[in-house]
Amino acid sequence: MVTQVLTVLMREALPSAGACGAEGCGSGGAVCSRNKEMMMMMIRVISAVFLKDTIDAANNDAEHLVAERLRKKTKQYVKKLEAVFRAIDATGDGMITEDRLTDMLSNPLVSTYFQTLDVDVHESGALFHMLDNGDGEVTLDEFIDGIMRCKGPARAIEQVAMRADLKALDTKLSKVIKSLRAADIIKTKTPKFAQKKGLTLMLSERSQT
């Protein structure tokens, strides 16, 4: 295709013999050197444009293919997680308790299957607390979202577990702060930055009268 385009352009762009009027341009059908140089420059430019367009098209196709494969792979992975959840949810109420998850993971076949899903499970209790939002039960959405975050090597799961522990600690600290304020023990309000992180308490002793 590129060769055909270049051939047409050459026929249109090249002047007839001797048309340029330059010194040394013969009348026997030979093209002067000036026209040759100009034509070669045009060929290089057009070739570069075609090459860039071809590379860009190939890259776009590759990116689209990778994205499509990733989407299909994620969809298949989610379906597997849904099947696992239904298998653990023996009562069919859409909830998983810690005891039920512990019982299931005590089965070597189940723990091995979790490993095939790229989820390294060492302790069922730790896994449950990573999945749970604090109400003591895990829903299907919590299960899928949590497993997707835990997916990967043990180090990744440890990081997720650390974030879950910090979140639980933040919740407990918030409850303590509310209780202390309700009991009129805290005299000074917690600064906004401390309220957001839930890690700093500004307490003052109750004045004795």
User: Could you tell me the domains of the chain?
Assistant: 71-174 (1.10.238.10)
pLDDT at 7: 60
Angle between helices 124-131 and 140-150 (to 10 degrees): 110
pLDDT at 11: 59
43-67: per-residue pLDDT in tens?
Answer: 777 777 777 777 777 777 667 676 7
User: In the predicted model, what is the mean pLDDT of residues 1-7?
Assistant: 56
Opening angle at CA 10, ends 25 and 15, nearest 5? 35
Q: Which of 143-147, 148-152, 162-166: highest mean pLDDT?
A: 143-147
Query: Is the predicted pLDDT of residue 17 greater than 80, yes or no?
Result: no
Q: What is the distance between the alpha carbons of residues 112 and 150, in angstroms, rounded to a whole number? A: 16
Residue 129, phi-psi category: left (phi > 0), alpha (psi -120 to 50), beta (remainder): alpha
- C-beta separation of 17 from 27 below 8 A: yes
Burial of 132 (0-12, 13-18, 19+ CB in 10 A): buried
**What length does the chain have?**
209
69-125: per-residue pLDDT in tens?
Answer: 767 777 888 888 888 888 888 888 888 888 888 888 888 888 888 877 777 776 666
Q: What is the distance between the alpha carbons of residues 37 and 163, in angstroms, rounded to a whole number? A: 67
Sequence-distant (≥ 6) Cβ neighbours of residue 141 within 8 angstroms: none
Q: Which of 14-23, 101-110, 188-197: highest mean pLDDT?
A: 101-110
Render 159-195 in DSSP notation, one character per residue: HHHHHHHHHHHHHHHHHHHHHHHHTT---SPPPHHHH
